[in-house]
Chain A
Amino acid sequence: MTPLSLAPAGEALTIVDVRAGRRLRHRLSELGLNPGTIVEVVNSRGCGPVILAVGDSRLALGRGASHKVLVEPVS
């Protein structure tokens, strides 16, 4: 289980947990980032926001938020 901020790009990942305050969790949830959702990191260059592919949509997540989303490779 790693934070999204450290996850490798180009791999299918499942969200395991979102460790954030109520508001942020709600915001991420309504954008589709919930435990069980499959995502893929499109680009991540070590610092700055991460671009995430969730199904057919693309989300940009700031570092702070991406530290709080925990993922696992899809087995």
Chain B
Amino acid sequence: MSQVFKVALAGNPNCGKSTVFNALTGARQHVGNWPGKTVEKKEGTFYHDGQKVSLVDLPGTYSLTAYSPEEVIARDFIVEERPDVVIVVVDAANLERNLYLTLQVLELGVPVAIALNMYDVVEARGIEIDTEWLAKLLGDLPVVRTVGVRDQGTQELVRQALQVAQAGANDFRVNYGEEIEKELSKLERVARGQSATGEKPGTPSDEVPTEIAARFNPRWLAIKLLEQEQGVVDAVAELPGGPDLLAVARDSVAYLEAIYGDDVDIAIADRRYGFINGLTRQVVKHTQPDRLTLSDRIDQIVADRVLGIPLFLLMMYVVFRLVQDVSAPFLNWVDSVITGPISRWIIALLNVLGTPDWVRSLLVDGVVPGVGGVLVFLPGLMVLYFFLALLEDSGYMARAAFVMDRFMSFLGLHGKSFIPLILGFGCGVPAVYATRTLENERDRILTGLLVPLISCSARLPVYVVFGLAFFGPDAGKLTWAMYALGVLMAVLMGMLLSHTLFPQDKDAAFVLELPPYRMPTAKGLAIHMWRRTSEFVKKAGTIILAVTVILWFLLNLPWGVQDHRDSLFGNVSAVIAP
């Protein structure tokens, strides 16, 4: 067996999916973007019993309808890339809700294995889950108890997942009730090129699989058409036989709505939840809301209306100061090492090699400061990412978003956007990078646009110089005014953009999950930190380096110029300047 198994990991946000991903792939992972989107894409590889497995971590979603870029990405990946098996990571303490997503993955027809994750929490709370019965009720698919942070159960999970991958598609079905099932069968038949009533036009060997049936799982497609999901409808309309299928679907919907007196998608959702409800009752012992847990007690202070905001500001201040205090000595040290010993060594080396003057200048005046310019950010960034990972992994970030939300809504943003904006005071580059933690694309872009308006620390020397030049002893006031101006501009631009180019989703009411507080693991933090830092170095290193080299050329040509004003750069600037 020399093939590579393609496995996808799906699951709710906060279900511990990343931990499972990390446990399986270790350092062999690669982070990029899903093409054309600002959502992170994580891929990795590992070996299981000599078998190579390629693992893709799909974005965390609560369901697979197409309401958000994350859901579209997750669903498109499963439909188009056809992974050999999808492992759904389920938070065992929240079975019902996690099963909603699981059901939708199953309905796509792809082989599924379930990781019943964070099982240690379930056990600690005295909850029992009948894993075998659960597996049976879901169509005999593998259900494995795992504890991601301790790397328990992961090997067994993979073993069973690969097994089920070889068995092929799952045949799990939810019974949607007689009427709906009848319409679903009808639509399935039409999608397959058979007649709607089931009378076959010719002998079975005459049937040619339609393009529609090749592209989509017929039953899943039938369900989506009854739910009238726009994205699917549009896709089908373009395929041969599509319009006919859509016409049949419209009739079915009209017929069903007359019977139910309500939207068909609600009837379908009801059935789904009814199924999950019934299943959970059979499989889980003890489903009462917990009386105040430790997390709740912490939240009584942290998420409190009066104390919450000052606490948050205090926390941000601490993070901010720590980043600065830790990075300052490094900044100077790295800077001096680069302009000092490293430059000298390079010069010495180049002399030994006898390289021409201009190459030496390019390297020493261009490349080294360029690379150095990137390295200088590193220590501060690493500290920053550590704190961000800490705040997020512990579960605090959600509370911060909760507490700052009311204020942020003036800017047309949510509480989570507050963090990158605060970081903008230190340095704009990692602040924009921090927007990656935001949940949806529109927020990421809008916040990223506002960050540069905040005065970053590199501007301070400029403010001070101008202040001294024009205001003399009142320089301090100018500096303070500039900072305030930055904040004001950010707020105004936020308000402006939210009402024009970046309208906020009207229905995007504030609904946020508050995960229980957790002790972050050292491994998890280290991986987060490392991943983001190396990403930054790779990306920024190439761009900043390239720009520095280009600048070097502009400043140093024509070759031999002594005064910058005579260079290409200088000439161009002279034309522009009054």
| Interface of A toward B, CB cutoff 8 Å | 12, 20-24, 26-32, 34, 36, 38-40, 42-43, 45, 47-49, 51, 53-62, 64-65
Contact = CB atoms under 8 A, between A and B. Distances in A.
A2 B125 CA distance: 31
A42 B299 contact: yes
Contacts of A59: 511-514
Interface of B: 62-63, 65, 67, 91, 93-94, 96-97, 100-101, 125, 263, 269-270, 273, 277, 287-290, 292, 295-296, 299-300, 303-305, 398, 402, 405-406, 505, 507-516
Given A26-B65, A59-B514, 12 more contacts: A27-B511, A29-B269, A31-B97, A31-B513, A32-B100, A34-B273, A36-B277, A55-B93, A55-B96, A56-B93, A57-B515, A58-B514
B290 A53 contact: yes
Contacts of B94: 32, 55-57
A24 B509 contact: yes
A31 B300 CA distance: 22
A28 B295 CA distance: 22
16 contacts: A28-B511, A31-B62, A31-B97, A32-B97, A42-B292, A42-B299, A47-B305, A49-B510, A54-B97, A54-B289, A55-B94, A57-B514, A58-B513, A59-B514, A60-B303, A60-B510
A57 B270 CA distance: 21
Nearest to A38: B289
A48 B514 contact: no
Contacts of A38: 288-289
Contacts, number: 122
B510 A45 contact: no
Give me the 10 closest cross-chain CB pairs, A-B, nearest first.
Answer: A62-B510, A23-B507, A30-B62, A32-B97, A65-B509, A58-B514, A30-B63, A56-B93, A53-B289, A60-B512
A68 B42 CA distance: 37
A60 B511 contact: yes
A62 B97 CA distance: 20
A55 to B, nearest CB: 6
B511 A48 contact: no
A62 B511 contact: yes
A54 B513 CA distance: 10
Listed residue (A28, A39, A60) with the most chain B CB atoms within 10 angstroms of its CB: A60
B350 to A, nearest CB: 60
A68 to B, nearest CB: 8
B510 A61 contact: yes
A16 B76 CA distance: 35
A58 B511 CA distance: 11
A12 B289 contact: yes
Contacts of A49: 402, 405, 510, 512
B67 A43 contact: no
B243 to A, nearest CB: 25
A43 B507 contact: no
A36 B272 CA distance: 13
Given A12-B289, A53-B289, A26 B513 contact: no
B554 to A, nearest CB: 51
B512 to A, nearest CB: 4
Contacts of B299: 42-43, 51, 58
A42 B96 CA distance: 20
B67 A64 contact: no
Contacts of A39: 289
Contacts of A62: 405, 509-511
A43 B63 contact: no
Contacts of A31: 62, 97, 511, 513
A36 to B, nearest CB: 7
A12 to B, nearest CB: 7
Nearest to B125: A56
A34 B96 CA distance: 11
A58 B97 CA distance: 12
A43 B289 contact: no
A57 B513 contact: yes
A57 B443 CA distance: 25
B513 A48 contact: no
Given A58-B514, A60-B514, A24 B507 contact: yes
A33 B34 CA distance: 31
Contact of A51 (B91, B303, B505, B508): B303
A24 B509 CA distance: 7
Contacts of A42: 292, 296, 299
A29 B97 CA distance: 9
A67 B100 CA distance: 24
Nearest to B290: A56
Contact of B305 (A26, A28, A48, A64): A48
Nearest to A57: B94
A57 B93 contact: yes
B183 to A, nearest CB: 21
Contacts of B509: 20, 24, 27, 61-62, 64-65
Contacts of B91: 57
B402 to A, nearest CB: 5
A10 to B, nearest CB: 9
